[in-house]
C-alpha cells in the first residue's frame, strides 16, 4: 500500500465517540455519517459504529464559510507567529490556498495550482497571484507547524458548527484528534508530491 493511501486510511480511521461528546457539550443535533443519521447510543455501543471526520469538510460546512474560517484562523495564528519571530513574514495567501485544498481533500499541489486558476474560491484566496507547485511545496515544508495549527483550528470550528455546539472549549481528546487529522492531511500531500516527482 502506498504512503498516500495509508494516509487516507489514517484519516478515515480517526473515529470519535461523538455521540457521547456532543451529548455532554449539549446539542440537539444528531451525529451524522456519510449523510445518514448515526445509530442511537445503545446501537452505537453494540455495533461500535461511530461518526468520523469527513475527508471533504464541505460535507459539514459550506465552502464560503470554510474559506473564511481558513483565512481568519491563519491570520490570527500568523500574526502571533510574526510577533514571536522578529522579521518573520507569513505567506498567508499561499498557506490559505494549501489549507483550503487539504480541507477539501485536494492534496495534489499541481491540482491546487490549477484550481487557483479555474475555481472562484481558490482564485479569491490566491488574490490572483500566479502560483507554482514547487513554491507551494516549499512553503508547506517551511510552515508545517502553522498549517497544522490552521487546519486543526478550522476542523474544530467545523465540528462546532456541524453539531451546533456553542462552547469554544472542546475536550482535549477531540483537539488531539483534530491535530492528528491535520498532520495526516499534510503527510498525504507530501507523499503525493513525491509520487508525482518520480
Sequence-separated (6 or more) residues with CB below 8 Å from residue 168: 160
At 133 the three-state DSSP class reads helix
Cell of 172: 482535549
Do the beta carbons of residue 174 and residue 156 sit within 8 Å?
yes
Q: Phi-psi region for residue 2, left (φ > 0), alpha (ψ -120 to 50) or beta?
A: beta
Distance CA 117, CA 128 (A): 8
Torsion (CA) 169, 180, 107, 2 in degrees, nearest 10: -160
* Domain ranges within the chain, ordered by starting residue: 56-197
| CA 133-138-143 angle, 5° bins | 125
Per residue of the chain (198 residues), give pLDDT as tens. 554 545 555 555 444 444 445 555 554 333 332 333 333 333 333 334 445 789 999 999 999 999 999 999 988 886 766 555 544 556 888 999 999 999 999 999 999 999 999 999 999 999 888 899 999 999 899 889 989 999 999 999 999 999 898 887 888 888 999 999 999 999 999 999 888 776
Count of beta carbons in the 10 Å neighbourhood of residue 81 = 16
pLDDT at position 151 is 96
At 90 the three-state DSSP class reads coil
pTM comes to 0.76
* Cα Rg of the chain, angstroms: 17
Strand spans (E) along 41-168: none
Name the DSSP class of 38.
P
Residues composing the chain: 198
Cell of 149: 495549527
- The set of long-range contacts for 168-174, using a CB threshold of 8 Å and a minimum separation of 24, is 170/25, 171/21, 171/24, 173/16, 173/21, 174/16, 174/21
Amino acid at each position: 500500500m502506498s504512503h498516500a493511501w495509508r494516509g487516507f486510511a489514517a484519516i478515515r480511521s480517526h473515529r470519535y465517540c461523538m455521540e457521547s461528546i456532543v451529548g455532554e457539550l449539549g446539542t440537539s443535533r444528531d451525529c451524522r455519517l456519510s449523510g445518514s443519521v448515526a445509530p442511537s447510543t445503545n446501537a452505537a455501543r453494540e455495533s461500535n459504529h461511530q461518526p468520523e471526520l469527513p475527508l471533504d469538510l464541505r460535507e459539514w460546512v459550506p465552502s464560503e464559510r470554510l474559506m473564511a474560517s481558513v483565512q481568519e484562523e491563519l491570520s490570527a495564528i500568523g500574526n502571533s507567529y510574526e510577533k514571536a519571530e522578529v522579521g518573520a513574514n507569513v505567506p498567508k495567501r499561499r498557506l490559505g490556498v494549501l489549507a483550503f485544498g487539504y480541507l477539501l481533500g485536494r492534496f495534489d499541489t499541481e491540482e491546487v495550482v490549477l484550481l487557483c486558476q479555474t475555481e472562484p474560491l481558490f482564485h479569491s484566496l490566491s488574490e490572483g497571484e500566479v502560483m507554482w507547485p514547487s513554491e507551494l511545496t516549499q512553503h508547506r515544508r517551511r510552515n508545517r507547524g502553522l498549517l497544522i495549527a490552521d487546519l486543526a483550528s478550522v476542523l474544530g470550528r467545523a465540528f462546532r458548527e456541524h453539531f451546533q455546539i456553542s462552547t469554544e472549549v472542546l475536550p482535549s481528546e477531540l483537539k488531539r484528534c483534530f491535530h492528528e487529522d491535520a498532520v495526516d492531511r499534510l503527510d498525504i500531500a507530501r507523499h503525493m508530491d513525491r509520487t508525482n516527482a518520480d
